Amino acid sequence: MRDRYPRPENPEIPYEIIESRSSSERPNFDHLNVILRGSSFDLHELDTVGNPVVLVSFWPKEMWPNSYPTEFWPPLKTNREVIYTHFHAEAVRELLKLNLRVLWIESCYSDKQGEFHPQDGDSRQSWYEKLTHHPLCTRISVLQKIDKGGNRLRPPTGSGLAAIATCYLLTKNISVYGWDYYLKESPQNFGYWTLFIKLYSYFLDSYKGMNFIEAGIINFYYGYHFGNMPGIRIHGYLGQLHAHGKLIEKLERVIFYSKKRV
């Protein structure tokens, strides 16, 4: 990675909340169950998870008409208390039209003058800031601390990592389901090279803005370390990387530079 931060003494949450752009009134939670769309979690079992549930990047049907079954288009049929979280302003707008409760995670970058700017292509639209006045919308603006070239429209982190980190910053107590970053089986029994090869997919790289391998490195690294942080329980495949410390150590050298570097 070209624009790197120095390696922290201990792994930490790679986001911070930008209070000046975030909603001043926020709900209080003792615990959140964060649900991603990875194959390790069967969405038919959603009602077995406790309240409240945060569904990550479940796109409105009109914006994402492919891949997952129509029964999982918002609004999902469930008895749970559901909050839909999304990073894309247009998706937030469509979810609010459905009268759904939305946690809008606005990813921002900081310019040389220290001013914060949204990384959303719709940020200059007249309706953009009006979303924050909707009674069902809570906006949490965040600054990522992974890629210093953060003014890219699509930073190489993935929406799942941003949602997990934001929910943790809000509650300090989360359970995470379905965080697999496209792994289709548990990595527990993978060898070193098998897991390394899983980091790359040409199809997904071309489909997701040519940063899939960067995002894979970042998600594998934080999946390994988040599981050791207090207040985070990971039930997806990225929580099963315990046997791959050697690979994670090498990925760390890609993400960060040593503070001894001049």
Average pLDDT, the chain: 88
Instruction: Give pLDDT, residue 149.
Output: 60
pLDDT given for residue 94 in this prediction: 96
Identify the three-state secondary structure at position 75. Answer: coil
Q: Summarize pLDDT for 160-178 with one digit per residue, the tens.
A: 999 999 999 999 999 999 9
Summarize pLDDT for 87-111 with one digit per residue, the tens: 999 999 999 999 999 999 999 988 8
Q: What is the pLDDT of residues 106-140, one digit of tens each?
A: 999 888 898 999 999 899 999 999 999 999 999 99
Report CA Rg, the chain: 18
Residues 143 and 109: their CA atoms lie apart, in Å, by 6
> 83 by DSSP, 3-state: which?
strand
**pLDDT (tens digit per residue) in 55-88:** 999 998 878 756 666 778 899 999 999 999 999 9
- Closest by CA position to 246, among listed 198, 212, 196: 196
Question: Residue 43 pLDDT > 90, yes or no?
Answer: yes
- State the number of CA atoms in the 13 A half-sphere of 141 facing the CB: 18
pLDDT at 261: 47
Q: How confident is the model over 198-237, as pLDDT tens digits?
A: 887 655 655 556 677 888 899 999 999 998 899 999 999 9
Question: In this predicted structure, what is the pLDDT of residue 72?
Answer: 83
pLDDT above 90: percentage of residues in the chain = 64
Rounded Cα distance, 78 and 35, in Å: 13
> Quick one: pLDDT at residue 66?
60
pLDDT confidence of residue 6: 79
